[in-house]
Amino acid sequence: MKVQFAFLVSLFLLWSSFVHSQTLQLNELEYFEQNGLNVLVYSNRYNPIFFDEKTAGIELIHHGVRTATGGAVRLHHTPEQWDLVPEIVSRKVDVENNFISTHLRYADFNFDSEIKVTPHKNGFRIEVFLEKPIPKELEGRAGLNFEFLPPDYWESTYLADGKPKLFPRYPASDAQVRPSSEKIQQIFDHSTFDDRGRGEFLEPLPISMANSFVLAPENPERRVVIESDSEIMFFDGRILAQNGWYVFRSLLPSGKTGKVMEWYVEPHTIPDWVREPNIGFSQVGYTPAQRKRAIIELDKNDNPQSSAKIFKVAKDGSEVPVFTGMTEEWGRYLRYNYLVFDFSEVKNEGVYFIEYGGQRTNVFPISKDVYEGIWHPTMDVWLPIQMDHMTVREAYRIWHGNAHQDDALQAPLNHNHFDGYSMGDTTDTRFEPFERIPGLDIGGWYDAGDFDIQTGSHNAVVMDLVQIYETFAPQRDMTYVDQKTRYVDIHRPDGKNDMLQQIEHGVLALVAQIENIGHPIRGIVVGNLYQYHHLGDAATITDNLPYNPNLAPYETDGVSSGTLDDRWAFTTRSVFMDYSTAASLAAASRVLKEFNPDLSQRALDCAMKMWNDNIDVDPETMDGGRPFFNFMRVKTSAALQLFITTKEDRFKRVFEDAIWSQMDRTMFDTNRPGNFPVDNAFSYALMAYPHMNENFHGKLRPFVLQYLEESNQITSVSPYEVPMGGRGWGGNTPIMKWAINNYFIHKYYPELMDVESIFSAMDYILGCHPYSNVSFVSTIGVKSKQVTYGSNRADFTFIAGGVVPGLVLLQPDFYENKDDWPFLWGQNEAIITTATPYVFLAHAIEELAKEMNKVID
């Protein structure tokens, strides 16, 4: 029976190949293409800071979805994020012979390999070449890996040499503990080492071993054949890490050179497959008066329809067509064609949906109040949950306990840490390495889905919250915050302004750094990766007892502990950080003056200290790897905030002497992700506007015109009319900051800027964007992000009000934002510096919508 079954499977696959035979070809963007399939070969490279982001190597875009990544020689069965990745020495694209080859290197082992990908039959070959045999210490470790995204194969079967099996929905395969050599241990000091098992690797064992695998034979959209003369092992990477993928792997043979391995990979493609249109629109809906545009994203082989319809859903559930409009062909952007469907004529309040080519969207409202309160979940739920050094409760649920009461130890010297942290040959403090720095166990927010304190991010968030408070004066009180007992209760009013309480919480952390160390620092983070990728309750990441070197590990005297699990403070001083923190604290001191007079004065004192400490610093020097211009930019910001707070002319003079020359340059940089402004000088000038005279206003006007001209050029490249970006990290934050600039221009120079660009940015965030039409703000809109990268990401869920980074551009032309896999942080990690621009923009949209409603009334 087994033989018969295998024979029938072979006949089926042969028939499939016969009825639909295509050959991959290199296109002008240097990847392989055929209808329904793209094979990218190192179009995207491994990240030198974060290593394996699962967006590099050989990647399959299979019927419009990226399903596989990797395709490299790796040194673990199931590599984790921080495991070694190969350096890409060179990449060769041979158009004449229709192949791509890549030279990889592991410098630590002096080990080179070549990966060559060539179209073959109905798929492609992956060949591995070695000039020298693999090093002895990598025998049994170096192998060809190819990784497939688990949710694409859940509820599916696979065939291993014809034997049917199920893809595991939850990891439950076997593993073993494996000893390592001293060199291996030194180089692979990664997450499988914990403080109780150092010197050993936890290593998954294969689920299946075969020479031929057929993935999802029952699903023509996801069917893939992998064959080799070498034995292929199938591993479940989630045994080691929740973000692990399904890994297919063959070990490289020892003592061999030349072509040492070959795989044949055949992803099935559906004849004449065409991607379903993506109809982008705002999931929150629209006000009656605003412009309403749906952007329809089409496969390049799709035939555009000339019209679309709007249906209204009556109270009895009946569906009534109320508008038919022509679609306008916008043209090609990256890999897709686009249509614009304008239905601004639909103004009556009600519930509607769009129909295009027989495809219907979900419903959305048209109402005067659609934008009211869309920032509440972010401020009421998401940001309170990020509060460090507090117990946070919501109804019956404890989100986390009072974490990090053992903060913080001085980080060691001459140490390159992970996540961008490092220390040089001096601490810039009075503390010795691993000595406890007192007073840091207060305030601050978790930066993101991890639990570190990023000072630069705190400066940005405090500044955003101050600007929101001073611009819109929100008076919301839905969060109980008690700094004395370190307790937060969500949805419980306490008679205090929530926004001021959040500003207070951020300022407490910043002031603590300056008062206890003498200056702001890079940040505070755990000392090892085993803690860093901790998920769940942050209160369990340490024992919350300060480290005592006189006690043995895991020994405690009740008030201290011999366990070295305390977070580390990275204290290298930076003039850039000094001025940045001075600006934020000077601004915060204004709004805290009545709310918390003592903290307000301490914040201002710290800001003045940072200004005075750096008054004689030579601006020609480089600061922390940042060029001279960045140094001057943050000094300008500090001068502005100190002037607004103190009204002292000396700060005003410094600001006005610097601001014009800093804006006399290109305001956008098209070579940077998201077209970030080269600097924030223009934003500073807009902040200064209400505090300056008419001469300043007139002098600023030509720069506004320059900004608008450059902005129009950048936003015209896509039909979404926003500055697209997102290479490596989604582009939502710069889009929102661009819209915030536009809000102020509209406010101060209404004859130069209408409101459409501001609404376009919010429409984009709320669903009118490429790839999908979900809202990028969890719980905001009819369809919103339900799987995000937060502390609860292992549960495949979200935290209400979190704003994800958005679309990541995988070179050269594929935008992606996974809705079924939270672990791609560049797409789905909600962070504090994306939350507060959204809160500002939401306030602005609320205000503008009310103004539009008044016109209608």
Query: How do residues 3-60 score in pLDDT, each as one tens digit?
Result: 444 444 444 444 444 444 468 999 999 999 999 999 999 999 998 888 899 999 999 9
For the chain, what is the domain count? 3
Identify whether 85 is part of a domain. yes
Residue 161, pLDDT above cutoff 70: yes
- Spatial separation of the C-alpha atoms in residues 529 and 241, rounded to whole Å: 12
Evaluate whether 145 touches 194 at the Cβ level (below 8 Å): no
Query: Based on C-alpha coordinates, what's the Rg of the chain?
Result: 28
Give the type of residue at 528: N
Identify whether 112 is part of a domain. yes
CA atoms within 13 A on the CB side of 692: 22
Identify whether 396 is part of a domain. yes
Evaluate whether 829 touches 448 at the Cβ level (below 8 Å): yes
In this structure, the answer to whether residues 424 and 504 fall within a common structural domain is: yes
Burial (CB < 10 A; 0-12, 13-18, 19+), residue 309, is: middle
Other beta carbons less than 10 A from residue 275's beta carbon:
17
Going by pLDDT thresholds of 50, 70 and 90, the confidence category of residue 675 is low
Domain boundary among 316, 336, 366: 366
3-state secondary structure 795-846: HCCCCCCCECCCCEEECCCEEECCCCCCCCHHHHECCHHHHHHHHHHHHHHH
Other beta carbons less than 10 A from residue 160's beta carbon:
17
Q: Which of 535, 501, 457, 610 is nearest to 243 (CA)?
A: 535
Q: Give the 3-state secondary structure of residue 602.
A: helix
**pLDDT at residue 19, rounded to an integer:** 41
In this structure, the answer to whether residues 127 and 37 fall within a common structural domain is: yes
Residue 226, pLDDT above cutoff 80: yes
DSSP assignment of 709-777 = HHHHHHHTTSTT-S----SSS-SHHHHHHHHHHHHHHHHH-TTT--SHHHHHHHHHHTT-SSS---BSB
Domain boundary among 600, 617, 634: 617
In this structure, the answer to whether residues 243 and 339 fall within a common structural domain is: no
In this structure, the answer to whether residues 220 and 247 fall within a common structural domain is: yes
- Spatial separation of the C-alpha atoms in residues 582 and 642, rounded to whole Å: 8
Residue 669, pLDDT above cutoff 90: no
- Spatial separation of the C-alpha atoms in residues 797 and 94, rounded to whole Å: 44
In the block, tokens 């009600």 appear at: 350
Q: What mean pLDDT is predicted for residues 327-350?
A: 98
| Percent of the chain topping pLDDT 90 | 86
Q: Which of 230, 71, 216, 237 is nearest to 154 (CA)?
A: 216
Strand pairing class (487-490; 391-394): parallel
Q: What mean pLDDT is predicted for residues 614-634?
A: 64
Evaluate whether 502 touches 759 at the Cβ level (below 8 Å): no
Task: Dump pLDDT digits (tens) for 751-803.
Answer: 999 999 999 999 999 999 999 999 999 999 999 999 999 999 999 999 999 99
Domain harbouring 354, CATH code: 2.60.40.10
**pLDDT at residue 621, rounded to an integer:** 53
Q: Which two tokens stand for residue 603?
A: 């914040």
**pLDDT at residue 717, rounded to an integer:** 95
Angle, nearest 10°, between helix axes 597-613 and 498-517?
50
Identify whether 831 is part of a domain. no
Identify whether 762 is part of a domain. no
CB under 8 Å to 711, separation ≥6 — which residues? 668, 723, 738, 742, 757
Would the CA dihedral through 673, 376, 460, 423 be positive or negative?
negative
Evaluate whether 573 touches 428 at the Cβ level (below 8 Å): yes
Domain boundary among 366, 384, 412: 366
Q: What is the mean pLDDT of the chain?
A: 92
In this structure, the answer to whether residues 137 and 242 fall within a common structural domain is: yes
Residues linked to residue 176 through DSSP beta bridges, in sequence order: 203
In this structure, the answer to whether residues 253 and 307 fall within a common structural domain is: no
**pLDDT at residue 13, rounded to an integer:** 45
| Measured CA distances, 519 to 441, 512, 613 (Å) | 16, 9, 9
Task: Dump pLDDT digits (tens) for 414-435.
Answer: 999 998 899 999 999 999 999 9
Going by pLDDT thresholds of 50, 70 and 90, the confidence category of residue 448 is confident
In this structure, the answer to whether residues 319 and 428 fall within a common structural domain is: no
In this structure, the answer to whether residues 495 and 431 fall within a common structural domain is: yes
Q: Which two tokens stand for residue 317?
A: 């559930």
Q: Which of 536, 509, 540 is nearest to 524 (CA)?
A: 509
**pLDDT at residue 22, rounded to an integer:** 63
Identify whether 569 is part of a domain. yes
* Cis peptide, bond prior to residue 72, ω within 30 of zero: no
Q: Which helix (H) or strand (E) holds 67?
A: strand 65-74
Domain harbouring 64, CATH code: 2.70.98
Whole-model pTM? Answer: 0.94
Q: Which residues form the domain of 326?
A: 278-366
Identify whether 440 is part of a domain. yes
Q: Which of 659, 697, 663 is nearest to 677 (CA)?
A: 663
Give the type of residue at 178: R
| Measured CA distances, 658 to 164, 601, 654, 744 (Å) | 70, 27, 6, 21
**End-to-end CA, the chain:** 77
CB under 8 Å to 719, separation ≥6 — which residues? 295, 330, 331, 333, 338, 340
CB under 8 Å to 701, separation ≥6 — which residues? 749
Q: Chain centroid to CA 801: how far?
A: 15
Q: Which of 800, 808, 802 is nearest to 835 (CA)?
A: 802
In this structure, the answer to whether residues 349 and 389 fall within a common structural domain is: no
Q: Which helix (H) or strand (E) holds 279?
A: strand 278-280
In this structure, the answer to whether residues 359 and 392 fall within a common structural domain is: no
| Percent of the chain topping pLDDT 70 | 92
Going by pLDDT thresholds of 50, 70 and 90, the confidence category of residue 185 is low
Residue 472, pLDDT above cutoff 70: yes
In the block, tokens 């959040």 appear at: 502
Residues linked to residue 742 through DSSP beta bridges, in sequence order: none
Q: Which of 359, 346, 205, 211 is nearest to 274 (CA)?
A: 359
Q: Which two tokens stand for residue 155?
A: 């509820």
In this structure, the answer to whether residues 226 and 291 fall within a common structural domain is: no
Going by pLDDT thresholds of 50, 70 and 90, the confidence category of residue 184 is low
Q: Which two tokens stand for residue 513?
A: 């750094």
- Spatial separation of the C-alpha atoms in residues 806 and 797, rounded to whole Å: 16
In this structure, the answer to whether residues 261 and 296 fall within a common structural domain is: no
Evaluate whether 512 touches 440 at the Cβ level (below 8 Å): yes
Residue 622, pLDDT above cutoff 80: no
| Strands of 523-525's sheet in order across | 409-410, 568-570, 523-525, 453-454
In the block, tokens 């006399």 appear at: 664
Identify whether 780 is part of a domain. no
173-177, 505-509, 755-759: least confident range: 173-177
Burial (CB < 10 A; 0-12, 13-18, 19+), residue 100, is: buried
3-state helix, strand, coil in the chain (%, to 5): 30, 25, 45
Q: Which two tokens stand for residue 687?
A: 């902040």
**pLDDT at residue 200, rounded to an integer:** 67
Domain harbouring 532, CATH code: 1.50.10.10
- DSSP-H helix ranges across 154-272: 182-187
Task: Dump pLDDT digits (tens) for 40-53.
Answer: 999 999 988 888 99
